[in-house]
Amino acid sequence: MIESLATALPHFRNTNSGQFFLMAGPCVIEGEDMALRIAEKVKHMTDKLQIPYIFKGSYRKANRSRLDSFTGIGDETALRILQKVGREIGVPTVTDIHESDEAALAAEYVDVLQIPAFLCRQTDLLIAAAKTGKVVNVKKGQFLNGESMQFAVDKIKQSGNEHVILTDRGNSFGYSDLVVDFRNLPAMRSFGVPVVMDVTHSLQRPNQASGVTGGQPALIETIAKAAIAVGADGLFIETHPTPATAKSDGANMLALDQLEALLVKLTRVREAVR
d(CA 132, CA 44): 30
pTM for the predicted model, two decimal places: 0.92
Please, what's the b/e burial string for 253-266 (b: 16 or more CB within 10 A of its CB; e: otherwise)?
A: bbebeebbebbeeb
CB neighbours (10 Å) of residue 224?
Answer: 25
Residue type for 256, please?
L
CA 45 to chain centre: 18
CA atoms of 216 and 200, how far apart (whole Å): 8
The residue type at 114: Q
With beta carbons less than 8 A apart as the criterion, state whether 42 and 259 touch.
yes
| Calpha distance 95→152 (Å, rounded) | 18
Domain limits at 102? 1-273
Burial group, residue 142, by CB count within 10 angstroms (0-12, 13-18, 19+): buried
Q: What is the 3-state secondary structure (H, E, C) of the chain?
A: CHHHHHHCHHHHHCCCCCCCEEEEECCECCCHHHHHHHHHHHHHHHHHHCCCEEEECECCCCCCCCCCCCCCCCHHHHHHHHHHHHHHHHCCEEEECCCCCHHHHHHCCCCEEEECHHHCCCHHHHHHHHHCCCEEEEECCCCCCHHHHHHHHHHHHCCCCCCEEEEECCEECCCCCEECCCCHHHHHHCCCCCEEEECCHHHEECCCCCCCCEECHHHHHHHHHHHHHCCCCEEEEEEECCHHHCCCCHHHCEEHHHHHHHHHHHHHHHHHHC
Pairing state between β 171-172 and 178-179: antiparallel
Sign of CA dihedral 63, 67, 69, 72: positive
171 φ, ψ (degrees, to nearest 5): -125, 145
Q: Render each residue's pLDDT in the chain as its tens digit; 274 residues.
A: 555 677 767 667 656 668 999 999 999 999 999 999 999 999 999 999 999 999 999 998 776 556 656 666 889 999 999 999 999 999 999 999 999 999 999 999 999 999 999 999 999 999 999 999 999 999 999 999 999 999 999 999 999 999 999 999 999 998 888 999 999 999 999 999 999 999 999 997 765 545 555 567 799 999 999 999 999 999 999 999 898 887 766 677 899 999 999 999 999 999 999 8
d(CA 63, CA 138): 16
Q: Output the pLDDT for position 162.
A: 96
Return d(Cα 251, Cα 249) in angstroms, integer. 5
Q: Domain of 186: which CATH number?
A: 3.20.20.70
User: How high is the pLDDT of residue 6?
Assistant: 73
Residue 205: predicted pLDDT? 72
Number of structural domains in the chain: 1
